[in-house]
Amino acid sequence: MKFIVSSSQLLKQLQMLGGVINSNNTLPILDNFLFELNTNKLKITASDLETTMSSIIEVESDSEGSIAVSSRLLLDTLKTFPDQPLTFKTDDNSTIEISSSQGKYDMAYFSGEEFPKAVSLQSPSKTVLNGAILATAISKTIFAAGNDDLRPVMSGVFFQFSPENLTFVATDAHKLVKYTRTDVSADEVAEFIMPKKPLNILKGILGSADSDVTIEYNQSNAKFIFNNVVLECRLIDGKYPNYDAVIPKENPNKLTVDRASFLNSARRVSIFSSKTTHQIRLKMAGTELNISAEDIDYSNKADERLNCDYQGDDMQIGFNSRFLTEMLSNLDSSEILIEMSLPNRAGILTPIDGNEEGEQVTMLVMPVMLNQ
């Protein structure tokens, strides 16, 4: 088996695929990249059993074969080369020789047969989606997904497809984000929960790609196909909570405020909040929003005022500043609307402007009890 490939092109592909490989794998073979050569096409695969990703690049070759090569050794070596053609050639003694203009390097390889095969999806449903839309949907929701191993369904992003729209939801029971696109749809109704790891990988790659992504899915697995890349992953098993039931419908108190000013104030004031509750207090009356925090243990206290437009009864409500600032950071609008009913009911954040055509974002944050 012998092929010639551009060092920078190979490095780019391996760095993209390297995100799949775990630092501590149960199977040693998973510390490797799988190379499958079919004349002038080289298919490279990385897997952690749950997620498998492969890409195809053009090489100069007239041979075939499949081997597994150490990911760490290969990446560390390729990072040091300027862009140049590299020749890869396997020897009989289970080593592969890499020849560059600087010299020769030998590394051990394993048989490609040992590498786990990706699952084939049985009778999948299919939806095609623009890559930029998918990347936005992931980045707008993934930060709200939970990390609780005891509630695995809440540790992923819920994909809800229908002929009317596509909806993406994430929640950790303290905060919730619902992102809907009415400008794209699926042929049939489908629901599945995607784990965070493959979504983070997709977000990183799709951010710069404006190509269409074909999503195939069944009860247990999903597959994302775009350009020369295929990513397959196992879905999170279980039923997603009824998120619509926790979104309060009657919210008579409405606060409109400049997002950047509010975010900066919340960040500043939160420095003075209790390190256990991270609580900040919002006090609204007329055209004034008062933001305050206090850490009684250390006698720290902060208080700021912002101009706003507030319609409703005068009220005070407490929020965890980390959740609030995270949500405000993930919105692009210049102004936001916060709708509330009572100090013990969730607040709903929506952007007033800055949305694309067909894009709807709803964010919900649970209050924290105010210490009077």
Residues 230 and 327 in one domain: no
For the segment 289-323, what is each residue's pLDDT rounded down to a tens digit?
Answer: 999 999 999 999 999 999 999 999 999 999 999 99
CATH number at residue 341: 3.10.150.10
Same-domain status, 205 and 283: no
Which residues are paired to 313 by β-bridges? none
Residue 180 inside a domain? The answer is no
Rounded to two decimals, the pTM is 0.94
On whether residue 342 sits in a domain, the answer given is: yes
Q: How far apart are CA 20 and CA 18, in angstroms?
A: 5
Q: Which of 156, 162, 182, 169 is nearest to 364 (CA)?
A: 169
212 shares its domain with 146: yes
The one-letter amino acid at 350: T
**98 and 207 fall within a common domain:** no
Tell me, yes or no, whether 162 and 108 share the same domain: no
Closest CA to 304 of 288, 320, 316: 288
Report the C-alpha gap between 319 and 366 in whole angstroms: 7
- Report pLDDT digits (tens) over 264-286: 999 999 999 999 999 999 999 98
Angle between helices 7-18 and 71-78 (to 10 degrees): 140
Strand partners of residue 103:
none
* 109 and 162 housed in the same domain: no
Q: Give the three-class secondary structure for 33.
A: strand
Domain that includes residue 55, residue range: 2-114
Task: Enumerate residues 6+ apart whose C-beta is below 8 A from 320.
Answer: 174, 277, 278, 279, 365, 368
Non-local CB neighbours of 248 within 8 Å, separated by 6+ positions: 341, 345, 346, 348
Per-residue confidence at 370, pLDDT binned at 50, 70, 90?
confident
Q: Are residues 200 and 298 in the same domain?
A: no
Domain count, the chain: 3
Domain closes at, from 72, 92, 114: 114
Same domain, 98 and 194: no
48 shares a domain with 153: no
Q: What is the pLDDT of residue 236?
A: 97
Q: Are strands 253-258 and 309-311 parallel, antiparallel or unpaired?
A: antiparallel
Domain boundary among 244, 275, 291: 244
Flag whether 175 is in a domain: no
Q: Tell me: the pLDDT tens digits for 35-90?
A: 999 999 999 999 999 999 999 999 999 999 999 999 999 999 999 999 999 999 99
Q: Do 192 and 208 belong to one domain? A: yes
Q: Is residue 176 a part of any domain in this protein? A: no
- Note whether residue 174 is domain-resident: no
Is there a single domain that holds both residue 251 and residue 363?
yes
Same structural domain, 144 and 32: no
